[in-house]
Amino acid sequence: MGFLTFTSVTWIALANAKPEAGYSRDSITMIVAPVGVGIIGAVAYHFLWTIAMYLTGAFSGFIFAVFICCWRSDLLIVNLIGRYAFLGGMALLFAIALYFAHRPIMLFATSFVGAYAVMFGIDCLARVGFIAGPEALLNRNPRHIIEYRVGTFVYVLLAMVLVLFLLSFIWQFLFNAAYEFGLHVAAAVKGKQAHEEFHEHQSREPHHDDPPAAASVAAVNDDHHSHHTHT
């Protein structure tokens, strides 16, 4: 998520700031620079994970807003101010929602962003026009003319984002059922994952239906005494 977030932000900044003559070694710059910054972002997310989770929520809200806008050729919201207010508002909303419901938002974030990235990568090869949507939405450089048309193949890829997202969400919900996510910092500070501490705590607590230890020992001694008596 750190890689995708920093790569996307870097690409958007470079595309909007690109001069008329382009950058020196333009094609390399537009790939290498975002990837390099993305790697730095991934490392930063690993060490600053408490902050990174909120940024992950914000990025997923931003991508979700981009996805919604791309269902129409006019990008759904024609007014530029309203359009960017929608993008920023969704990012802020998801970051705030993560504080109150961190588990479902984190599952949504990883599932939806992953599904969108897969379809984005497919269109890098298929070239049916899916990529033109976010480009037209986010690249406001007056030197770039980007035409976005929502045709049949674009609708298919948009629908496949939803299908893959649902499959991923269900899989992650089941696979991570025993895991808590990073807001539980107490266990992590002690060098344990939260779910590990939970299971250790459960194993230490006596169950209500279990007999006390002393009673168990007494029962064993009674059986032993009875065995000798009969013998």
- 195-206 mean pLDDT: 54
3-state secondary structure of 205: coil
How far are the Cα atoms of 32, 62, 67, 113, 202 from residue 132, in angstroms, in the given order? 21, 17, 12, 17, 52
Among 68, 213, 221, 40, which residue's Cα sits nearest to residue 133?
68
Per-residue pLDDT tens digits for 110-135? 999 999 999 999 999 999 999 999 99
Phi, psi of 195 (to 5 degrees): -70, -30
Note the helical H segments in 2-151.
2-17, 26-47, 49-69, 80-100, 102-126, 132-138
- The answer for residues whose C-beta is within 8 angstroms of residue 103's C-beta and 6 or more apart is 180, 181
Of 24 and 51, more confident: 51
What is the per-residue DSSP string for 85-112?
Answer: HHHHHHHHHHHHHHHHSHHHHHHHHHHH
Task: Please state, for a pLDDT cut of 70, what percent of the chain lies above it.
Answer: 77
Burial of 93 (0-12, 13-18, 19+ CB in 10 A): middle
Residue 180 has pLDDT above 80, yes or no: no
Residue 210 has pLDDT above 70, yes or no: no
Can you say whether residue 25 is alpha, beta or left, with left for phi > 0 and alpha for psi between -120 and 50 degrees? left
Q: Which amino acid is at 79?
A: N
Among 69, 53, 95, which residue's Cα sits nearest to residue 180?
53
- 98-104 mean pLDDT: 88
For the chain, which residues make up each domain, given as ranges? 48-183, 192-230
Binned at pLDDT 50, 70 and 90, residue 102 comes out as: confident
